[in-house]
């Protein structure tokens, strides 16, 4: 396995909360932060303290928890935002500005050079006040690469602890992000961070690929929540790092728990087929699959559900076979003769074809009726 030097910065409390309609209470943020810390996440982005007094107070609360994780916050390249970060006494402040020509023209109406000079001034200001700085390029993926290199070079000279590249609109593919990270890393004097959005469904893949190319700090959110289509998924990135790079320091058994917590607090339902934490992530219906899994789960599960705090489920339906039925029936403390089994299986397939879910109660009723009908 390839050896990687990476850390996770989870941004659920900030970018995740920017999901339309989502707002966490301070206590909910505290609960999520504690669970992220238990998992072993190295950096937690607690919020954007200058947006409100309540947000600032919550960032301070998270910072005061005494977690092992370092606490980060977001700041635009303006004095009042950096002052808010200083007031919160965070371990790391992410000072950002939008670097693409499109954003500079539309949002700032200044030149590249003017915006860079303004941002570097805020890097100096934060460093002078004892803060570690992550110098962040919003819209990095649509920014001239030479400008990015110059920005990061000057940021490192001003003692920025990190350089950060954001695929803000999720427009990159894994091959594209591998190439840009490789190019940026070549002349970089500090660690590179990547922040990927999911507009084309590549956020987790891009984040993992960026790590293979040498990115150090990987940004994630629980359940992949975030603006528009969301961010890179914490659970997907951590499992990929475990399975493909042997990184075992994170406690993955808590992933189901934190997923359910964020689902409840955010009101954003997790898709049943969501990787790692979805209800069907370890659910099997096909008779061929279940028969093999009963012999050896590795036949149809690349990683075991126990690794991520999950459970395996066998679902009865139109694809169910005799071995699967016998196993499920035995878990209910029942036993069927071959004729009874055939009758129950026929009933299951008939009902499933009509889009009827086979609940445990329904199965018990069918088992009872089979004794009369078979």
User: What gap in Å lies between CA 365 and CA 192, rounded to an integer?
Assistant: 59
* Stretch among 72-81, 106-115, 205-214 having the lowest mean pLDDT: 106-115
pLDDT for 335: 80
Lowest mean pLDDT among 297-306, 310-319, 332-341: 332-341
Q: What is the pLDDT at residue 338?
A: 82
Lowest mean pLDDT across 3-7, 19-23, 249-253, 364-368: 364-368
More confident residue, 336 or 6: 6
Residue 155 vs residue 331, higher pLDDT: 155
Per residue in 9-45, pLDDT (tens digit) is: 999 999 999 999 999 999 999 999 999 999 999 999 9
Q: Is this prediction's pTM over 0.75?
A: yes
Distance CA 72, CA 158 (A): 19
Is domain 7-266 classified as CATH 3.40.920.10?
A: no
pLDDT digits (tens, 9 = 90+) for 250-303: 999 999 999 999 999 999 999 999 999 999 999 988 878 888 888 899 999 999
Q: What average pLDDT score do residues 84-91 get? A: 98
Domain boundaries, the chain: 7-266, 283-373
Query: Which of these ranges, 131-145, 160-174, 268-282, 286-300, has the smallest mean pLDDT?
Result: 286-300
Backbone region of residue 164 per phi and psi (left: phi > 0; alpha: psi in -120 to 50; beta: other values): beta
- Each residue of 195-222: b (16+ CB within 10 Å) or e? bbbbbeebbbbbbbbbbbbbbbbbbbbb
Higher pLDDT, 354 or 104: 104
- Residue 372: pLDDT band with limits 50, 70, 90: low
Contact between 291 and 323 under an 8 Å Cβ cutoff? The reply is yes
Token pair for residue 168? 């803000």
Per-residue confidence (pLDDT) for residue 327, from 0 to 100: 81
Mean pLDDT, rounded, of the chain: 93
């Amino acid at each position: 396995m390839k050896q990687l030097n990476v850390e996770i910065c989870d941004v659920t409390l900030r970018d995740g909360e920017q999901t339309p309609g989502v707002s966490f209470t301070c206590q909910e943020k505290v609960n999520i932060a504690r669970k992220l810390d238990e998992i072993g996440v190295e950096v937690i982005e607690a919020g954007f303290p200058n947006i409100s007094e309540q947000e600032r107070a919550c960032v301070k609360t998270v910072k005061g928890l005494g977690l092992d994780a370092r606490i980060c916050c977001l700041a635009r390249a303006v004095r009042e935002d950096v002052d808010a970060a200083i007031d919160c006494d965070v371990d790391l402040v992410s000072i950002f500005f939008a670097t693409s020509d499109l954003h500079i023209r539309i949002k700032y109406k200044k030149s590249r050079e003017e915006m860079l000079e303004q941002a570097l001034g805020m890097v100096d200001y934060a460093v002078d006040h004892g803060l570690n700085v992550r110098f962040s390029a919003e819209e990095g993926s649509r920014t001239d690469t030479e400008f990015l290199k110059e920005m990061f070079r000057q940021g490192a000279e001003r003692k920025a602890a990190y350089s950060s590249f954001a695929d803000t609109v999720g427009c990159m593919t894994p091959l594209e992000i591998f190439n840009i990270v490789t190019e940026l890393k070549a002349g970089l004097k500090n660690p590179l961070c990547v922040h990927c959005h999911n507009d084309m469904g590549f956020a987790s893949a891009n984040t993992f690929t960026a790590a293979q190319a040498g990115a150090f700090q990987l940004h994630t959110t629980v359940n992949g929540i975030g603006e528009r289509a969301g961010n890179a998924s914490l659970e997907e990135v951590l499992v990929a790092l475990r399975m493909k790079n042997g990184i075992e320091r994170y406690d993955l058994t808590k992933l189901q728990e934190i997923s359910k917590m964020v689902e409840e607090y955010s009101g954003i339902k997790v898709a049943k087929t969501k990787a790692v934490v979805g209800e069907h992530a370890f659910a099997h219906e096909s008779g061929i699959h279940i028969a093999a899994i009963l012999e050896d789960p590795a036949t149809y599960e690349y990683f075991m559900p126990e690794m991520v705090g999950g459970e395996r489920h066998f679902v009865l339906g139109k694809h169910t076979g005799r071995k699967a039925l016998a196993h499920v029936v035995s878990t209910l403390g029942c036993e069927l003769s071959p004729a009874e089994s055939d009758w129950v299986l026929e009933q299951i397939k008939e009902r499933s074809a009509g889009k009827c879910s086979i609940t445990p109660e329904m199965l018990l009723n069918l088992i009872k009726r089979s004794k009369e009908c078979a």
